[in-house]
Amino acid sequence: MGSIAEPVVACGHTHIPRIVRSRRGQLLVSPGSVGLQAYQEGRVLIESGTPDSRYAIVERRNGAWGSQLLAVPYDHASMAALAKRR
């Protein structure tokens, strides 16, 4: 994370739900994405295995930062149809 000094760093559009703590103790949170739970790296398609929408809750308790990742059902079929119409 280079010179970033903040205790919590939130990422978006990574399509990879993950929580990581750096060597310096910083919390890196990436909830994933809404829909399109996949990305392609070269010829390899990497999928999370679910079309659920994902989000994270970040909280500070007793002076320490923590996070949890959550997934909820997402009507991906109707959103795909809407995107195709537009």
Q: Residues 6 or more apart from 55 whose CB is under 8 A from it?
A: 31, 69, 70, 72
Whether the predicted pLDDT of 5 surpasses 90 = yes
Assess if residue 62 is contained within a domain. yes
* Model confidence pLDDT, tens digit, residues 21-30: 999 999 999 9
How many structural domains comprise the chain?
1
Contact status, residue 26 vs residue 48, Cβ threshold 8 Å:
no
Q: Is residue 2 part of a domain?
A: no
20 has a pLDDT exceeding 90: yes
Q: Domain of 45?
A: 8-85
The pLDDT assigned to 19 comes to: 96
pLDDT tens for 37-85 read 666 678 877 676 677 888 999 999 999 999 999 988 888 788 889 989 9
C-alpha to C-alpha distance for 1 and 28, rounded to whole angstroms = 9
